[in-house]
Every structure is written in C-alpha cells, then in structure tokens.
A and B are shown apart, each in its own frame.
Chain A
Amino acid sequence: MSLVRLEKINKYYRVGAHSLHVLRDVEMSIDEGEMVSIMGASGSGKSTLLNILGILDAYDGGKYWLGDTLIQHLGERQAAQYRNKFIGFIFQSFNLLPFKTAVENVALPLYYQGVSRRKRNRIAAQYLERVGLLDWADHRPSEMSGGQKQRVAIARALIAKPRLILADEPTGALDSETSHQIMDLLTEIHQTGITLVVVTHEADVAARTQRTIRLRDGKIVDTPVAAAS
C-alpha cells in the first residue's frame, strides 16, 4: 500500500517577472515501509520536492496524498500539526538547538504536542538509548562529534512516531566512516518498518536504499521498479 502518492505535482517559483517551472508533472509513489533515495543535480528540483514532501512548502498543481490525507491548501497551523504528527526530519547540518541538552533536543517534537516535561524526557531517553547515546543525554551538541549529533537528530526524528522520515543529505557533513555508521543506523530503523526517504547526491548512500528516484530539470527520469522486499 502506498504511503506517499504524488499526482502531477507542479511547482513554480516567481523570480521577478519570470516564472521558474521547478517541478513538472511529478508522479511518484512510495510504499509503506520502503526506503527510497532521491537523487539529482543541484537545480534539479530535489530540494523543492523534499520541501513539498515535508509539508514545508505548498505546490501549485496536482495532489499530494500522505496515507489517506490530502496535503493541500493547508493553513500554517494545520501544516505544523501534520509535520509534527506525520513527518520526522533529519538534516544535513543536524539542526540541534545548541543551548539544549541531547535529551531536551530529542524531546522537542513532544513539547509541541503538549506532552509533560517529565514524560517527554523519559521517552526521549529511550530513543537516545536506541541510537546508543544514553550516556550523552545531558550533554549539549557542542560537546559531541558530528556522528553523535546526527544520532541525536535521528532520535528526535523518531520520537513522535512519524509515518515518514525525510533525511536531507544525512551524511553530507560526515566523514565516510561515520557516514557508514549513520547509514547502518538508518537501515536498522528502516528494518523496524519505518518509511524513509533519503535525499542525497552520493551514489553509495543511494545504493543502500531499495530504490532511487532520479530528478532532472524538475522531471522524474528513469525510475526503476522497486525491488521486492
């Protein structure tokens, strides 16, 4: 069953008097429990596609179904709530809040759900344990290595039990050794049944996903059929 379904998605950016057609009739679907990578050169529209998938940006034409929910014409409040409920983000530069400890960073999505401090910190500790960083719970990001920061970010992406995890160049700021470890962790998470979309320009990262969606000039090209899993 498909979790993500894009039907003829179009997106334009107005640059002065010109209108830039960034996404052209993008059609794609991602199944529940799939691990997919999106590749494309810079300017191919992959960032825009990620923004739309992450409900960070609106699109101009077509339909975006996330499960049974049509993601269209959302108010800011609604969009924020959907992001909180449905989507976990992993960023290239981690985007941890520097003044908060690891456990507080992980717990942040639950803060916006109104979960009490004590409860969300307890849950956050469980997720930190899952990424192997329970001992670092009270450390701030500045005291951690890049790999550790990304693990904290992964725990944060998982804590709200999202249906979809979007990883934007998750290994982009890491050395190859650490990149491998992070990809191992993502694969492990995928094996628990979570749907993952990884945006990358590294072929070996894409190779570790089940399927790669390639974008060129705002169009999907050459989409191989998903490997049976």
Chain B
Amino acid sequence: MFSLDRWQEIFETLWRNKLRTALTAFSMAWGIFMLVVLLGLGNGMQTGVESGFADDATNSVWMFGGQTSKPAKGLPVGRRVVFANPDVDKIDAFPEVDHITGRFGIRGGGPFGGESMVRAGPKAQAFDVRAVHPGHLYLERTEMKAGRYLNDEDIAHRRKVAVVGIPVATFLFGTTDVIGRWIEINRVPFAIVGVFDDAGGEGEQKKVYLPITTAQAAFNGADRVNMIMFTVGDAGVEESKEIADRAVAHLAEAHHFAPADKQAVRVRNNVENFAQFQQMFTMIAVFVMLMAACTIVAGVIGVSNIMMIVVRERTKEIGVRKALGATPAAIIGSIVQEAIFLTAVAGLAGLVAGVALLTAIGAMVPPGEMFGTPRIDLDVALYATAILIGAGALAGFFPARAAAKVNPIVALRDE
C-alpha cells in the first residue's frame, strides 16, 4: 500500500506542479503557523495571569478597613474603620471559614504594614514586617523551609518570635541556618523560629512575620487590626459572596457603619476574581479552538479544491491507468496519500515555524505577571499531527472519489 513506487509517483506529481503545490502547502502551513502562535501566546498569557494567583490562596476573601461614606446610627461620615481582634474571632466562628488571619500594620500605616528597620548585629535593612495570625500561612501559601510558622501559643502568650524569608536570613546572617538567632525590629528583639519561601517571587520572600498580638503590644497597637483575610473552603462564587456579606454585616454592627456602605469596608473576593479569570481563559480557549477548527477546515477545502482540479486535469491519464489495470483502490490510495502528504508536511512546517517563533519570543520576553513563557506542549503537537493527517485524508476523499469514478473509456476517446 505505502510502497516506495507510490511515493515516487506522488513526488513526481507534486514536482510537476511545483508552483501549485507550493501555494497549496503555503496556505496550509500559514494557517497552522498562525494558529500555533495564537495558541502559544494565549497559553503564555494564561500562565502569566495564573502565576499571579499562584502565591495566594484563590479561595480567599480579603477585607480592608476604609472610611465611612454614609451616616449610620447618628454618626457622621468620614470616620476611619479599624477592625479589632474580636472581629477575627467572630468571623473565624463562621462554619465555612477554614483559615483566618488579621494583619496589623506596625507603623500604623496601611494594611500591609509599612517597612520597618530590621537589625542583626551590624547589619540592618528596612523590610516589610507583617503582624499576622497563624492562619496567614495558608492565605499566603507560605512554604516553610526550616523551623516552624507562628502558632496559637505565640498569639496567646505574645511571644517575641519571628519567621523570616530566605532573602532576609541571608542578608542579615549570610546563611539560612538562623533558627534561634535574634533580630531587632524597631529596636524590639525577636527570636527567629522559622525560615520560609514563597512562590510569589522575591517581593513576597523579603518579609518578616510576627505574631499579631506581640506586635500590637510592642508597637502600640492596642487590639487594632487593619485587614482580615480568610479562606472559604470550596465555596462557590455565590456562597463566598454570601459569607463576605455576613462578615461585613458583623463588622458593620461592631463598628457602627451602614452594611451597604461600600467605602467603610473594601472587600476583595478572590473566589470571584479567580472564577472570572478562569471564565475569561475558558472563553479564550474556546475561541482559539474555534479558530483552529476554521483554519483546518479552510486548509482542507483549499487542498481538496486543488486536488479536485488535479483530478479533472488528469482525467485522461487516470482513464489510461485504469485501462492498463489500475484498480479503484490504487487510484484512491494514491490521491488520498498525496493529500495527506501535502497536508501533513505543510501543517508540520507551519507547526515547527510557529513553535520556533514562540521559543524566540519566550527567550526575548521575560516571564512576568501578565505574560508567562509561551509554549506548545508535545501532546498538542502530536494531536495536531493526527488532526492534520485526518484533515489530509478528508481533503483527499472527494477528489479521490471523483478519480475513482473516471470511466476508463475516456482512454479511447480522442479529443
């Protein structure tokens, strides 16, 4: 069936019509090339955006205190809303909430805390120091590399302990073997009990975590909490919204603002955000698939059309071949094989060119938040090959059927 002779016949046919072959192949290759590049760039964008989520829990809700914009309970607008430790306990009591943490800004600044001077012996640098609950481990997806994270005992006894990121440890001590060493934060000494890593990159690693209660006591914080973060298990978008509303309702009651006052508490629902992103990328994926299908259909029609013309032109030749003993199967086989060959070679050329371009782009553009490394997986390439061969067979089917129907009597006819 796939004899060397057959291949020779096919190469001869294709070679005899070099221009036509080249144009047909080019249109197919170009379609696949565009498709691969779009698919790869889409992939790159998706991995970029997803990596932005990777270092934080995606099933979390964050709440920041703001300023009231509506009068409530006879109180004026423009009051600052600052949460307190009991709020954290109250929301923690919600059955849907798995992990919870408050955050206290040490310099009384923003909810992320300001940078504080961290010193060990002669070395000192300003780092972001976060005063948090033990649940923060899950919300930030912090990975412990040595020692332990903060625990409930630290909170209860206001222990002067700290967990530092790898860059912090190496800056201060030149090593990550720092458990039991002491550091000073704004001149208050803390003992290091753990070293962590974070997938969020250098920015998330250059942090120091302290027990929130210790920091509140040491840095004049009373029981103030600037920000509350909690995870909601596997709650869906609607359920997470409902939980957030309930938390806001509680906070409104405790801090005397109107529950509908969007300015008093700012809510960031990551469940909703992540679902939106996923929805967007699903839509992009569907769109790309649709384009893929259209590209391949266009290619198939193109190849099929050209082959149909070829068959029409070769009617006499096919008739002679049949008169000399070519079976319909032999005729169909050679035409389908020709179509598959043309489609597959052109498609693979486009595929290779597309992957080459993506690799070049990947090498030039540094992966970042909005754009990860563009890529095409090997199995995608294999699927593509299988689809191309299928498409080739489809493209060859109708011309081959037309060729098989050629009546050998045409061989005897004289034009």
A interface with B by C-beta (< 8 Å): 47, 50-51, 54, 56-57, 76-77, 80-81, 83-85, 89, 91-93, 95, 97, 99, 108-109, 111-113, 117, 156, 160, 168, 172
Contacts and interface: CB of A to CB of B under 8 A. Distances in A.
Contacts of A92: 414
Interface in B1-42: 4-5, 8, 12, 16
B188 interface: no
Interface in B290-344: 316-317, 320-330
Nearest to A97: B317
B4 A109 contact: no
Nearest to A108: B324
Contacts of B93: none
B408 A56 contact: yes
A156 B320 CA distance: 12
A112 B326 contact: yes
Contact of A56 (B8, B321, B412): B412
B409 interface: yes
A80 B411 contact: no
A180 B411 CA distance: 24
- Consensus secondary structure, chain B interface: helix
B338 to A, nearest CB: 15
Contact of A57 (B12, B320, B409): B409
Contact of A85 (B325, B328, B414): B325
21 contacts: A51-B412, A54-B323, A54-B412, A56-B409, A56-B411, A56-B412, A80-B322, A80-B325, A80-B330, A81-B325, A84-B325, A89-B324, A91-B320, A95-B316, A99-B12, A99-B16, A112-B321, A112-B324, A112-B330, A156-B324, A168-B412
Contacts of A51: 409, 412
Given A50-B412, A77-B327, A112-B327, 9 more contacts: A51-B409, A56-B411, A76-B404, A80-B327, A83-B322, A84-B325, A89-B324, A117-B4, A117-B8
> When A and B form their complex, which 10 residue pairs have the shortest distance between CB atoms, in order from nearest?
A84-B325, A112-B325, A80-B327, A95-B320, A77-B327, A56-B408, A109-B324, A76-B328, A56-B409, A93-B414
Contact of A97 (B320, B404, B414): B320
Contacts of A172: 414
Interface of B: 4-5, 8, 12, 16, 316-317, 320-330, 404, 407-409, 411-412, 414
Contacts of A56: 323, 407-409, 411-412
B403 to A, nearest CB: 12
Nearest to A48: B409
B411 A91 contact: yes
A59 to B, nearest CB: 13
Contacts of B324: 83-84, 89, 108-109, 112, 156
A117 B330 CA distance: 16
**Most A-side CB within 10 Å, residue of B12, B404, B408:** B408
A113 B408 CA distance: 18
Given A56-B412, A95-B411, A99-B16, A111 B5 contact: yes
Nearest to B326: A112
Given A89-B411, A91-B411, A95-B316, A77 B12 contact: no
Nearest to B325: A84
A95 B321 CA distance: 10
B110 to A, nearest CB: 80
Nearest to B324: A109
Given A50-B412, A117-B5, A160 B325 contact: yes
Contacts of B329: 77
